[in-house]
Amino acid sequence: MDIAERIRELREDNDKTQSEIALLLNVGQKTYSDYETRKIRIPLESVIILAKYYNVDMNYICGISDIKLPFPQK
């Protein structure tokens, strides 16, 4: 699973719309849709925001691991 599939899965599992997540990331709904469909790459800063929001580590959200560990706290 790649990052586009993972962010879509996380959004759907949390019953959020693309518009809600786009607002969180301060982008338009179309831009967020383009992240999920791989038309454009999601910026690293946005990936970090999503990992914190969904409380999953970066390895999971990036598709490196299938284990949902919590986002590391300082």
Residue 69, domain member (yes or no): no
pLDDT tens-digit map of 42-60: 999 999 999 999 999 999 9
Question: What pTM was computed for the model?
Answer: 0.92
47: Cα within 13 Å, side-chain hemisphere: 18
The C-alpha atoms of residue 30 and residue 2 are separated, in whole angstroms, by 20
Residue 51, domain member (yes or no): yes
Residue 29, domain member (yes or no): yes
Residue 19: CB atoms within 10 Å: 12
Residue 7, domain member (yes or no): yes
Residue 28, domain member (yes or no): yes
Q: Residues in the chain, how many? A: 74
How many domains does the structure of the chain reveal?
1
Q: Can you give the pLDDT at residue 74?
A: 75
Q: How confident is the model at residue 1 (pLDDT cuts 50, 70, 90)?
A: confident
Domain hosting residue 23, numbered range: 3-61
End-to-end CA distance of the chain: 28
Q: Please say whether the beta carbons of 25 and 46 come within 8 A.
A: yes
